[in-house]
Amino acid sequence: MSLPEFFFERVTSEIHQQMEGVLALAERLSRQPMGADAQACVAGVAEAARTVRQILASSTDLKTAATNGLTFTLEPKRLADLADDIQGRWQDRALAGGVTLLFSYDGDPDTVVLIDAERIGQVFDAFIAQALAGVRRGAVEATLRAVADGDQVRLEGSVRGGSERVLGDRALDIREIEALFGLETALGVALGRSIVTAMQGDVRVESNVGAGETLTFHIVAQRAPDEVVAPETLVQHDRAAHILVVDDNATNRMVAETLCEMFDCTSESAVDGVEAVEAARTGRFDLILMDIKMPRMDGVSATREIRGFPGPAGRVPIIALTANADPEDAAGYLKAGMNGVVEKPMKPENLLRALQENLGGGAAVAA
């Protein structure tokens, strides 16, 4: 870590800690008997501290996105509950500003997907904040739509604001948003767009009839299994198995890492065959989940490289991850030195079976 990065982290951490202290003191003061003016001052202090805290959090996330990429934690989430959570966060704030927030969920109420609900919430928070900042009266409409397609669910989030401004069919850049709505909103929107992009999605803006705009984003999520797989621990020599996940698609890596975590395995990731070969050379992995089609070096070529290593590093079990799992292709992967094939999109029971079969030599499965 460079010296500027070190001080950036230290300063932001210190400011965040001080703001937490200010909020705690403000909350304690608000419980004391005092006049209306004093209460308003305390509320203003608390709101200012929350704003600073949010600006720090968004700017830190944006710096991370630009340098190392955002991290995601995928967990089963019922989409109807996600919509309720977001509406609950914003309902009172909208009413306090004289605006009605109408949030609806359009989809099967029982649909559960593997998703980072906090990150999706950040996207909605950013777009709702921008819409509320541009509305003086009336309503802001937000919708979460879910359309199932086999094991995948296409999610569409939209936020419609009734601003008096006429923007045209283009997204405002961050400087324009800051000029209109302030730094906090601009940072939030920038982060929201980064989150959608990192999840292989897209954002678009459309002008409403009259004035205002509708912000819409699309992402694809993996449907969670109908029955939650009971967490099991794959143990390799009295420790949790350590798995290398290799895939050039960020969403696929997140799904694989999440499923590994469900079975109490630890994991690291690589984005192509070149990185996979270098990681495997260390010999610290008990199994490798290897995508087939990747830039720079594909999974078959990477497997052949790894099989040339001496000792345990060259004998590590390698499982192919591919949408092309017909018998002829599978035979080719096995001939190249792979130990099995798991078809995409991955199902928990299929991955668990592959892990059990290939870690069985020194592994035990504990319920």
CB contact at 8 A, 153 and 190: no
Spell out the long-range contacts of 53-58 with Cβ–Cβ below 8 A and sequence spacing 24 or more: 53/16, 53/19, 53/20, 53/23, 54/184, 54/187, 54/188, 55/183, 55/184, 55/187, 56/12, 56/15, 56/16, 56/19, 57/16, 58/184, 58/187, 58/188, 58/190, 58/191
284, 266 contact by CB (below 8 A) = no
According to DSSP, the β-strands at 233-236 and 363-366 are antiparallel
> What residue has token string 């892990």?
355
**Where does the chain have alpha helices with state H?**
3-30, 36-67, 79-96, 117-133, 174-181, 183-198, 250-262, 273-280, 299-307, 327-335, 348-358
> Quick count: other Cβ atoms within 10 Å of Cβ 6?
10
pLDDT at 226: 61
Q: What is the pLDDT of residue 229?
A: 42
Neighbouring-strand partners of residue 340: 319
- pLDDT given for residue 143 in this prediction: 95
User: What is the per-residue pLDDT for 1?
Assistant: 61
Q: What is the phi-psi region of residue 212: left when phi exceeds 0, alpha when psi lies from -120 to 50, beta otherwise? A: left
pLDDT at position 50 is 83
Task: Assign 108 to helix, strand or coil.
Answer: coil
Would you state the pLDDT for residue 157? 96
> Class assignment of domain 75-223?
alpha beta
Q: For residue range 293-330, list pLDDT tens digits in order.
A: 999 999 999 999 999 999 999 999 999 998 877 788 88
Give pLDDT, residue 30: 86
Domain boundaries, given as residue ranges, for the chain:
3-67, 75-223, 233-366
Structure-token match 């192919």, residue found: 320
Q: Of 214, 174, 202, which is closest to residue 190 (Cα–Cα)? A: 174
pLDDT at site 362: 41
Q: Could you say which residues of the chain have pLDDT below 50? A: 164, 166-169, 228-231, 361-367
Q: What CATH superfamily classification does 233-366 receive?
A: Response regulator (3.40.50.2300)
Amino acid 251: pLDDT: 74
Would you state the pLDDT for residue 338?
94
Query: Is the pTM here over 0.75, yes or no?
Result: no
